[in-house]
Each structure stands twice: as structure tokens, then as C-alpha cells.
Structure 1
């Protein structure tokens, strides 16, 4: 059974986040949007995505925020990076989407479609 609702973590100004929202709404799937600009992602929720993809896969290495953060040059712990990501969601490849047991990172229409196959 496909999920009747997906949880979408993103930023309103993110084109990929808006694309995901549109994808699910066009398919009449209820979207619970968590705007990371106003409410940081819970550490436990972020941990789910890290467990599946690894922290590096979640980071938007091409983005301006990553460049400005100097994360590429810092020698730091994973916990410190996680704390930075919670403070600065634009460091993530958004959106993070959870539908049932399926998780996706970034703009991933194939992954979103898999969520709906259930």
C-alpha cells in the first residue's frame, strides 16, 4: 500500500523542495512539509537519513552554503557536522523525503515514485 502521506524536509526557497512538493500534490499524496528555515530537523530524524545514505551523501557539496562553511577544509567530527547541518539546513541536499519506509535525498523523482508503489 502506498503512503497516504509523505514527510518532506526542505526550504521554501529550494527549487528541488518545491519540485518534490508539486510531484506529490499532483499525485494527490498528502505532504507534511517541514520548513527547515523555521524549524530545524530533529536529530533522530536526521539520523535515519544518515544511517541509510551516510552523512557525506546528505551534504550539498556543490552549494554556496557548503563553500562558505569551509566544511571541506575543517577537520571535525561527524557530530560537529551534524550540529552545523541542523543549524544550517542549506548544507543539505534537499529535500529529504520520507514516505513509509522509503527515504530519498535531493531531487529524486524515481525515488519519489518508488514511495508511491508501496
Structure 2
């Protein structure tokens, strides 16, 4: 397994995900999205794995203006705008190769083992 956890240190669900993998002795790479965002290739792969960019959006994000803008943009521009504003992502985003989850999903991670 090659686990990557994208999130921030302030995210409660990101901390829970890290603890879940640590408790099972599964090595992972933590990517702090405040320091280093997701690359375009990673973003595209995660979107494919979870069923589209809309699944990545955190409706409770603090940046309400960009959230509102995202809803009104043309469909062809929405994914690009979300990629540019990664603070709108639900956390954590956990990748294992071509598989990915958004949010705290231990029921899915168990199947990866």
C-alpha cells in the first residue's frame, strides 16, 4: 500500500485518519495542504476515483464567496476553480494508488488492507 493523506493539522477528521492508520501499523505520507497543495495530476486522479470534483467540495468551508462562485461558474470552469482554491476541499483526502476517499472513511480503508 502507498497511502497518502491530504489534509491540514487543524482538521479533526485528518487527525482521526492519521490515528486510524497508525493504530494498524500502516505507513502513510501526510501532505499538509497549507504548505503544499495537490498537483493537477493528483487532483485529476482523485476526481476520477471518487466520481467527480463535486465530491471534493466542503459545503461548510469558510470561503463562502468562492463556494458561491463555484456554483455559478460554467461547468467547464468549475473543476479548474476548485483546483485553484484547495481550501474548499473536504478533508482528509486519502489516496492508495488509483483508489481514493474524501472524508473519514475507515469502512473503505479496511478493504485496502
The TM tier, using the shorter chain, reads: 0.7 to 0.9
> Which of 104, 108, 118 is equivalent to 2:101?
104
TM-score for both structures, normalised by structure 1: 0.80
8 Å Cα contact 1:40/1:87 also seen in 2 = no
Q: Deviations over 1:25-82 (max 9, x none)?
A: 11111110111100010000010111122011111123323x231235432454x444
Aligned to 1:40: 37
Q: CA RMSD for the aligned pairs?
A: 1.9
Structure 1, unmatched stretches of 5+, are none
Can you give the 5+ residue segments of structure 2 that lack an aligned partner in the other structure? none
TM-score, normalised by the number of residues in structure 2: 0.83
Per the TM alignment, residue 85 of structure 1 is displaced from its structure 2 partner at its CA by: 3.3
Output the CA distance in 2 between the equivalents of 1:14 and 1:22: 13
